[in-house]
Each structure stands twice: as C-alpha cells, then as structure tokens.
C-alpha cells in the first residue's frame, strides 16, 4: 500500500496518475453522427396544369337530360322509358318534357328521340306539338321547360 508523508505528496501522486491516465484519452466528446442525407427527389415531370372539366359525351348528355326530366317530375327512369305500360299523366308529362328537351338541346332526329324514350317518331311529333301549345298557354309549364333547359346550357366561351 502506498504511504505518503504529507498531503502535498498525496496530491502530487494523484496528479501524476491522472496525467498518465488521461493523456492517452482525449477529453473531447465525439460529435454526434450527421443525420442521413434525404434521398434525391423523384422526377415527377413538369408542373401539372389544372385538369379542365371533362366534357360529357353525347350519349352521357342524352342520358343526363332524360334522367333530369324524370327526376324533376318525380318519375322513375324505367317508367319514363316504358311507354307501352305506363300511360298515366305524370309519366306522360315527364316523357313529353324529355322529348322537348332532347329536341331543344341535341341534334337528334325524331326517330332517335322516340327510341330513347320508348316511343316512335309519331308520338315524339305529337308530344312536341302538344307541349308547345300547352307551354304557350301555361306560363308555369314554359318556366319548367326553360329551367330544365337552362340546366344543360353550355357555358359561354371566355375571351
């Protein structure tokens, strides 16, 4: 065991030991590892432009016109298209309104319009004639048809 005659010798001994031990090991703390680099961004192409609203096909437009007329008059679409079995006034009125709208808003011929609503072209001619007479006499019916037609009006092209 080590014996020291004075406190000064003890302190000198400990200083020498400390010097030997700590001289080999630096007292600097290691720096934390650098964070990993983020992966390079993926190439996604040029900036995306807003997608313009999809223009419906002519068939989709016809389907939408007929469905809107049926919904407006509260008639199921299947009843509107089945002219042989459903001849009640609300169904006939909805069918005639669909014929008028199809004639106004599309370039379809009367036989084509008749096939769409389940009738022939003669019934389509009769429906157009009667609805024009009734719309001339009844402002409410004219307003209904104009409102339905305005639903499908094409937006004006911006300059």
The mean per-residue pLDDT over the stretch 13-25 comes to: 75
CA dist 5 and 137 (Å) reads: 132
On whether the CB atoms of residues 13 and 4 are closer than 8 A, the answer is yes
Q: What percentage of residues in the chain have a pLDDT greater than 70? A: 87
Residue 52 CB neighbour total at 10 angstroms? 6
Q: Which of 99, 146, 144 is nearest to 126 (CA)?
A: 99
pLDDT tens across 84-130, in order? 777 888 899 999 999 999 999 999 999 999 999 999 999 999 999 99
Structure tokens at 133: 């007479």
Res. 44: pLDDT tops 80 = no
- Residue 159's pLDDT is 43
On the CB side of 121, CA atoms within 13 Å amount to 5
Place of tokens 């037609």: 149
CA dist 111 and 72 (Å) reads: 24
Identify the helix (H) or strand (E) that includes residue 99: helix 89-105
CA dist 53 and 47 (Å) reads: 18
- Residue 157's pLDDT is 44
Domains, the chain: 58-151 (1.10.1750.10)
pLDDT tens across 55-84, in order? 778 898 999 999 999 999 999 999 888 877
Torsion angle of alpha carbons 74, 79, 84, 87, nearest 10°?
A: -20
Residue 119 CB neighbour total at 10 angstroms? 21
């Amino acid at each position: 065991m080590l014996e020291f005659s004075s406190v000064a010798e003890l302190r000198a001994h400990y200083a020498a030991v400390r010097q030997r031990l700590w001289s080999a090991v630096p007292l600097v703390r290691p720096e934390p590892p650098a964070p990993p680099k983020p992966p390079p961004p993926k190439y996604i192409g040029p900036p995306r432009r807003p997608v313009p609203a999809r223009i419906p096909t002519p068939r989709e437009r016809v389907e939408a016109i007929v469905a809107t007329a049926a919904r407006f008059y509260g008639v199921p679409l299947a009843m509107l298209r089945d002219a042989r079995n459903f001849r009640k006034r609300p169904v006939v009125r909805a069918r005639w309104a669909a014929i008028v709208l199809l004639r106004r808003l599309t370039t379809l011929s009367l036989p084509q319009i008749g096939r769409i609503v389940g009738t022939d072209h003669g019934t389509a001619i009769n429906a157009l004639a009667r609805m024009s007479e009734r719309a001339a006499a009844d402002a409410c019916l004219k307003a209904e048809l104009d409102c339905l037609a305005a639903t499908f009006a094409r937006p004006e092209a911006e300059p």
